[in-house]
Amino acid sequence: MATDPDERTTASGYDLWAPVYDDEDPSTWLDEPFLLEQLRPFPGCRILDLGCGTGRYLRRLPAGPYRVTALDLSLGMLARARTGAARVDTAWVQGSATALPFQAHSFDRIMSGLVLDHVASPERLFSEIAGVLSPQGRAVVAGIHPDMQRVTGSDIDVANEQGAVRIRGHIHEVRELLAAVRHADLMVDAIEEPLVTRSMVERRPAWERKLGCAALVLMALVSPRAQA
């Protein structure tokens, strides 16, 4: 359960958004290939989907006998993820990405999509990731690029017949994210800052103003011990 006021607002906003949240917009063309290339799970792998949302990443995992845990602040998102999940061996947990309810070194792989802009302190997020990642583990993190946030705004307004919520966003410069990674004693094994392409705009004409803008920050992270 979220105890921080901002997290409670974020959870409420995503509860409202969950029934209609679009997890197949063109930005998925950018992060999903990176995830599949960089995650590198193995049989018996313990995987954490950190901020699982609708379960989009879970549905993209290659088939394998994994032990999967999916965590999200929003019960609405967890419910939608469970509805669409083909995996029956997934543990579903409501919780905060900055106060993970797991023992140290519980996971061999961590994947996290579009959580970064919802946390005030990336240092805290990456420290939590480092704490639950196994010594030879690997984390793949995708966040909204700060350049994109400056185009679209960092906050998200969600409204339906049940109410209206403004989900607060935080802009973190890429250099700040890299510093937070180092502070958590993690290393960047790969990083990409993909741009909005013309084909994406053709799919979503309203994105014309985003053309050529860096859309996401994609990072694959490892412990220095994994490089030893």
Q: Express each pLDDT in 159-216 by its tens digit.
A: 877 788 898 999 999 999 999 999 999 999 999 999 999 999 999 999 999 999 999 9
Domains and CATH numbers, the chain: 5-227 (3.40.50.150)
> pLDDT confidence of 78, banded at 50, 70, 90?
very high
Q: What is the pLDDT of residue 115?
A: 95
For 140: left if phi > 0, alpha if psi spans -120 to 50, otherwise beta; the answer is: beta
User: What's the predicted TM-score (pTM) here?
Assistant: 0.93
Q: What is the pLDDT of residue 88?
A: 60
